[in-house]
Structure 1
Amino acid sequence: MVVDIPELFSREEVRQMRALLESAAWTDGRTTAGHRAARVKDNEQLAASDPLAQKLGQQVLERLGQTPLFIAAALPARVLPPRFSRYAGAGQYGDHVDNAIFPMPGTGEHLRSDISATLFLSDPDEYDGGELVIADTFGTHSAKPAAGHLIVYPGSSLHRVAPVTRGVRYAAFFWTQSFVPSPERRRLLFDLDGAIQSLAGDHPEHGSVDTFTQIYHNLLRQWSQT
């Protein structure tokens, strides 16, 4: 399931983030890639220890917790602090699959990457190329949304960032461990939740709202892992 979450950040908020990122201390992105992924990765990243990365990452985490569409799509149990990337000069990230397990900084615990996410921080007219291309069981999806949009997609998917042939592509990316590991079950719950919200909006007193809500929570109770 690929979900576009529009305007996670406003244009003014993105402008403020970009002003900081444009003067940041970028490093070779290959240093954080696995052995195989490093062969197809050509970008720059902020070090996880960089105070700017930590400051902006915390801003993203706080906004995610206030975004019902992200919560409905991801059913997040834990989220890895976001990282930040810069693509320019034909920079790209070829076909790869994300690591299945990531250490949670400073906790001694680990996160299973059920869900990957990319927050776009450049508008499409600022750069050529740079599409996020995702292949999953429902086909191939190409995403290049407006700055401030978040794309959520399966961590198990094969995906890539097309070469950036003009301009600069800034983005944040992170991984989420879901209470419901199965992408098929998450999709069913997401669709059911959307149907409940639609029915409740059109017919708030309809008795089926409570029935479907009960079904939703009983499925979540049955399928979730804590």
Structure 2
Amino acid sequence: MLTTIDQVLSAEQLAFVHSAMESASWIDGSHSAGKYAQGRKANEEMDQSCSSWSSINQTVVSELYAHAEFQSSVLPSRVSAAFVSRCSPGMYYGIHVDDAVMGTASGRYRSDVAVTVFLNNPQDYTGGELRIHSRFGPVSVKGAAGSAVVYPASSRHEVTPVTDGQRKVCVLWAQSLVRDPAQREILADLDASRRALRLSAPEAQVTETVDHAYMNLVRMWAEV
């Protein structure tokens, strides 16, 4: 399931992020790729030892985690730190699958869900589409500044070469309480229905029934 989440970051937060990016230190992004993807990755990433990264990471992760749509579609158990990335002309990330287990020895997590938070608008750069491959064919995404796209980390995906301008994003991963993407999709659909019913018919029996079914499916499928 691919989910687009609008307005994760406000205009003021985006302005803060862009200002912090101007004064940050940048390093070769291939070093953060998995063993088999390093040769396919050409980008720059913000040095996570600089103060600018800490501020951006705190802003992006906290706003994403607090977003109701993220909670509904991901059911996060753990969320990684954000990798702040930029791609100038000629940069790209070839087709790959994210590592199944990420983090350090003291904080390992399963990468169930991948998230890209877009920091600038599609018209600011040419190329640079996030292309997600599935058995139904590829889907290309270039989100508006401040929006995010969420998709199973098990998907083969790529970032096509940037030919003009500069692509700016944050990338992060989440371990879900529910590891199966098909089960997460069912729960997200059911949660959307129960939220709509709570607004339109809060006292109705059907609202209570749907809420009951949702809670018990989470209880059945969640790993804690």
**Shorter-chain TM-score: which interval?**
over 0.9
Other-structure match for 2:2: 2
Letter in 1 for 2:38: A
Distance 1:204 1:195 in 2: 12
Residue ranges of structure 1 left out of the alignment (5+ in a row): none
Matched, 1:203 2:167: no
Question: What SS does structure 2 have at the residue aligned with 1:27?
Answer: strand
- Farther off after superposition, 135-144 or 152-161: 135-144
Find the aligned partners of 1:131 and 1:120 in 2 and give their Cα distance.
11
| 1:170 aligned partner | 168
- Matches for 1:215-226 after TM superposition, within 5 Å: 215-226=213-224
- Residue pairs, 1:26-45, within 5 angstroms: 26-45=26-45
C-alpha distance in 2 between matches for 1:179 and 1:73:
11
Distance 2:164 2:110 in 1: 35
Query: What are the within-5 Å matches in structure 2 for residues 1-226 of structure 1?
Result: 1-103=1-103, 108-226=106-224
> Aligned to 1:151, what secondary structure does the other structure show?
strand
What SS class does the counterpart of residue 211 from structure 2 fall into? helix
Question: How many residue pairs align between the two structures?
Answer: 224
Normalising by structure 2, report the TM-score: 0.96
SS at match of 2:66: coil
How far does residue 200 in structure 1 lie from its aligned partner after superposition?
Answer: 2.2
- Whole-angstrom distance in 1 between the partners of 2:48 and 2:134: 29
Post-superposition CA distance 1:42-94 (Å, at most 9, x none): 10001233322222111112112321100000000010111100100211001
User: For the residues of structure 1 that align with 2:218 and 2:134, how far apart are their CA atoms?
Assistant: 23
Contact 1:136 1:154 in 2 (8 A): no
Q: What fraction of aligned residue pairs are identical, expressed as a percent?
A: 38
Distance in 1 (CA, whole Å) between partners of 2:131 and 2:183 is 23
Check the 8 A contact 1:26/1:45 in 2, yes or no. yes
Q: How much has 1:138 moved relative to structure 2? A: 4.8
Q: Which shifted more, 197-206 or 155-164?
A: 197-206
1:36 counterpart letter in structure 2? Y
2:81 is paired with a residue whose SS is: coil
Moved more, 54-63 or 171-180: 54-63
5+ long unaligned stretches in structure 2:
none
- Report the CA distance shift for 1:137/1:176 in structure 2 as closer, same or farther (over 3 A): farther
CA RMSD, 1 decimal: 1.4
Q: Is the 8 A contact 1:94 1:160 kept in 2?
A: yes
Deviation at 1:28, TM superposition (A): 0.5
Tell me the secondary structure at the aligned position of residue 177 of structure 1.
strand
Moved more, 87-96 or 134-143: 134-143
Residues 179-200 of structure 1 deviation map (CA, whole Å, 9 limit, x = unaligned): 0000000000000111111222
- The 3-state SS of whatever aligns with 1:99 is coil
Which whole-Å CA distance do the structure 1 matches of 2:64 and 2:178 have between them? Answer: 18
User: For residue 70 of structure 2, what is the amino acid of its counterpart?
Assistant: F
